Amino acid sequence: MEQTTEKMMTMMPMEMTMDMKLMQQCIEACAAAEQAATMCADAGMGEGMGRMTSMCANTADMTNTMMRMMMRPAGYDMASMMAMLEATVMMCRACASECMMHADMSDACALCAEVCSNAATACEELKASVPVAG
């Protein structure tokens, strides 16, 4: 069964330059990362976890923004989309790395690290699928 977002994208009155399946995967991965990072930030309010908590909150915001940008294809500017995908990759990788430092103390951190790594990979795959203009 076709996913709702993918189905909606096919109804948009424009030519899509991004792979719809990869876009769907990226949207889902960003949504999962937003949720995991939000919950990890809340769970990490303990002593010595301030950096991790802030990184998780920033990652939640970043992945939400990335996801929302992808769901508004009529407003795409490919240069800004590529920059946003790259920024999301970097934020997710940084958050995953920070959470891995606390994974032995917190299941929430371990899960957040995994989910953020998955989101980074999904964004990288989507970015790599876009044809280079030239």
- pLDDT value, residue 97: 96
pLDDT tens digits, one per residue of 48-86: 778 889 999 999 999 999 999 988 877 788 899 999 999
- 8/31: higher pLDDT: 31
- Name the more confident of 87 and 18: 87
pTM, to two decimals = 0.87
Q: Sorting pLDDT into bands at 50, 70 and 90, what band is 14?
A: low
Assign 16 a pLDDT band (cuts: 50, 70, 90): low
pLDDT 10s digits, 33-42 = 999 999 998 8
Indicate if the pLDDT at residue 19 is higher than 90: no
Q: Return the CATH fold of 19-128.
A: Substrate Binding Domain Of Dnak; Chain:A; Domain 2 (1.20.1270)
Distance CA 35, CA 114 (A): 12
What is the model's pLDDT at position 133?
Answer: 59
pLDDT at 10: 67
Q: According to the model, what pLDDT value does residue 72 have?
A: 85
Give 125-131 contacts, CB < 8 A, sequence gap 24+: 125/22, 125/25, 125/26, 126/18, 126/19, 126/22, 126/23, 126/25, 126/26, 126/85, 127/82, 127/85, 127/86, 127/89, 129/18, 129/19, 129/22, 130/17, 130/18, 130/78, 130/82, 131/17
